[in-house]
Structure 1
Amino acid sequence: MTNSDPGSSPFRANPVNNPTGNGPPPPPPARFSPRLGWTIGGVVVAGLIVAQSVTVIPAGYVGVVFSSFTGVKPNPLQEGLHFVMPFVDHVTTYDARLQEVTLSQTAAQGDEGSISARSKEGLDITAEVTVQFRIDRAKAAILHKELGRNYINTALRPQVRAKVRDAIGQFGAADLISNQRAQLEGTITTELNKSFSRNNLILDAILLRELKIPESVAKAIEEKQTAEQQVAVERNRLQQAEISAQRDVVKAEGEAKAAIATARGQAEALSLRGKSLKENPQLIQLTVAERLAPGIQTIMLPSDGNFLLDLKSLGVQTQPKAAPTPSGN
């Protein structure tokens, strides 16, 4: 049965479902499924929970965990992946690598100016210092609790300035720019080690980049050092001259002693020789014979008279005379 009411015709123009009046009405809009909404919401919440419960500590860093229930946890997180209580634990990372702070007149970004101090005599000294340090990994939680992330400005820089000033005040200006620079570094290092240890920091090195004193004072110190060096050179020359003179005296004394020893030896030798000749008279004839031989023909007769016989004279006396040649016969 058809409805003859023209007002109910399906093809009649309807301002809502069929504004043109031509063709069937459009399908109703799709409804949002509550189940799908809960699923998407669950995924989002799960993602947030996972993101809040997982933290990664980069290489060279250490993490300090603050719990909303218990406060700062004593055991810091080391490098790697860690799970924490989501929305309850909050992780703060600290750089545990070697760091440095420079205090110089030409300070770079983040650095402070040089340190003004006074020497033992009250002279103005300007020091430029670089401090190399690192935080104590095992005590990072205490550092976070007592000093916080701004520990470099609140503790480190003031301590460095104070210790450098105190150490410079123990030395004279001339010593600081000459031969006691290393001792100054050692004094500063010793004092800073104590302060850094109390603040859970580890001092690696203290480097004195430059020590400046007033130009007039530096010139006076330089002149004084030059004069002292000249005096030292002259003193060295005098010592060398004295050593040379002493060497000559020792040499002369040695030669004199050697001459005396030689004369004493010769005298003793002559004395012994005379004594020997006196005790053995035959040695006199032997000595004379040795001096005359072989040019003179001499014979020694073994008699008690102890005389020498000249063979040449005997030969002349014993040779017979030649007979005279008869004249004219």
Structure 2
Amino acid sequence: MHPLAKYAIGFVVLCFLLFLLAPFAIVPSGMRGVVTTFGKVDPVPLGEGIHLIMPLANRVVRIDVRVQKAETEGDAASRDLQQVVTKIALNYHLDPAHVSTVYQRIGEDVENRLIDPAVSEVFKSVTARYTAEELITKREEVREQISRALVARLTPYGILVDQFSITNFRFSAAFNQAIEAKVTAEQNKLKAERDLQRIQVEAEQKIASAKAEAESLRLQKQEVTAELLKLRAVENQRLAIEKWDGRLPTVSGGATPLISINPQQ
């Protein structure tokens, strides 16, 4: 056999052995590699890139450390024993420096094994502190309470909370009807108060107008004196004389009035 052929066969066999034994591992972007040696977890994870490993002895488990979203259906009872249902959305990511611990303690299915049960338990615990009405009026406070409790619950396991939100609270049909009746009653009460204020204002305006009119009549009465009456009588006579056309009025059955006329005028 030609020496070159032997080298070629040897190279092919070597490549096959390298492929079969896989003495290296590739960790993609956004992930960490958890190394196990005959089942024992190495506490230091592998970063992104290519890493040499011991074939057959080492196994690399790739763990996603990017932000992930978990949605959980929460079902609990309020302090006044009203059933509360809501959908909870949690954005989280695994601490890259502690993925080996997370894998060792929980495994790869973090959401079902730890996050969902933690969210459900925390939601029930916080909801029990508030009445159903307070869950609506103090929604932001409730959200903050749940968020802080989840951070305290998940951080020791190497799970970091990025964002937490409650999409909506849903109550029983009877409670919703009671809320609608209460809102309607409050609206009717507010309308009645406004109507009463309007009536009071209108009454005050009428009283003020009547007082002003009475005061005006009083002042006019005070101004009507005997001298003023005489002046008005003289003025009326003057106006009558100005309108007289010089002819005497015809009166039947009565004496003709005598008017002294000075011929020199």
TM-score range, shorter chain: 0.5 to 0.7
Q: Post-superposition shift, 1:82? A: 1.6
Aligned equivalent of 1:57, options 27, 38, 61 = 27
CA separation in 2, counterparts of 1:240 and 1:83? 86
Paired residue for 1:176?
135
Paired residue for 1:227?
185
Deviations for 1:173-192, whole angstroms, at most 9, x for unmatched residues? 12223x21111111110110
CA separation in 1, counterparts of 2:152 and 2:62? 25
SS in 1 for 2:81: coil
SS in 1 for 2:22: helix
- Pair 1:197-2:150 in alignment: no
CA separation in 2, counterparts of 1:45 and 1:121? 73
Structure 1 regions of 5+ residues with no counterpart?
1-31, 104-113, 244-329
Structure 2 regions of 5+ residues with no counterpart?
202-265
- Pair 1:210-2:165 in alignment: no
SS in 1 for 2:116: helix
CA separation in 2, counterparts of 1:55 and 1:239? 81
**Letter in structure 2 aligned against 1:119:** S
Paired residue for 2:263?
none
SS in 2 for 1:156: helix
Q: What does residue range 300-319 of structure 1 map to in structure 2 within 5 Å?
A: none
Name the larger-Rg structure: 1
Q: Post-superposition shift, 1:222? A: 2.1
CA separation in 2, counterparts of 1:174 and 1:199? 34
Deviations for 1:74-124, whole angstroms, at most 9, x for unmatched residues? 221121222222222111011111111112xxxxxxxxxx32211111011
**Letter in structure 1 aligned against 2:62:** T
**Letter in structure 1 aligned against 2:79:** K
Deviations for 1:141-200, whole angstroms, at most 9, x for unmatched residues? 1111111112221111111111111111111112223x2111111111011001110211
Q: Is the 8 A contact 1:121 1:172 kept in 2?
A: yes
Which one has a larger percent helix, Structure 1 or Structure 2?
2
Q: Post-superposition shift, 1:40? A: 3.6
- TM-aligned CA distance change 1:133 to 1:239, over 3 Å: farther
- Scaled by the length of structure 1, what TM-score is found? 0.54
Q: What does residue range 104-115 of structure 1 map to in structure 2 within 5 Å?
A: 114-115=73-74
Runs of 4+ in 1 over 6 A off after TM superposition: 35-39, 236-243
SS in 2 for 1:204: strand
- TM-aligned CA distance change 1:172 to 1:140, over 3 Å: same
Aligned equivalent of 2:36, options 66, 69, 85 = 66
- TM-aligned CA distance change 1:182 to 1:79, over 3 Å: same
- In the comparison of the two structures, how many residue pairs are matched? 203
CA separation in 2, counterparts of 1:237 and 1:198? 60
- Pair 1:137-2:109 in alignment: no
CA separation in 1, counterparts of 2:138 and 2:129? 11
- Scaled by the length of structure 2, what TM-score is found? 0.66
SS in 2 for 1:198: helix
Q: Post-superposition shift, 1:237? A: 7.8
**Letter in structure 2 aligned against 1:60:** G
Q: Is the 8 A contact 1:49 1:86 kept in 2?
A: no
Q: What does residue range 1-329 of structure 1 map to in structure 2 within 5 Å?
A: 40=9, 43-49=12-18, 52-68=22-38, 71-103=40-72, 114-177=73-136, 179-231=137-189
- TM-aligned CA distance change 1:185 to 1:240, over 3 Å: farther
**Letter in structure 1 aligned against 2:176:** A
CA separation in 1, counterparts of 2:10 and 2:129? 70
CA separation in 1, counterparts of 2:78 and 2:42? 46
- TM-aligned CA distance change 1:240 to 1:57, over 3 Å: farther
CA separation in 2, counterparts of 1:62 and 1:241? 75
Q: Post-superposition shift, 1:136? A: 0.6
Give percent identity, aligned residues only.
Answer: 24
Paired residue for 1:326?
none
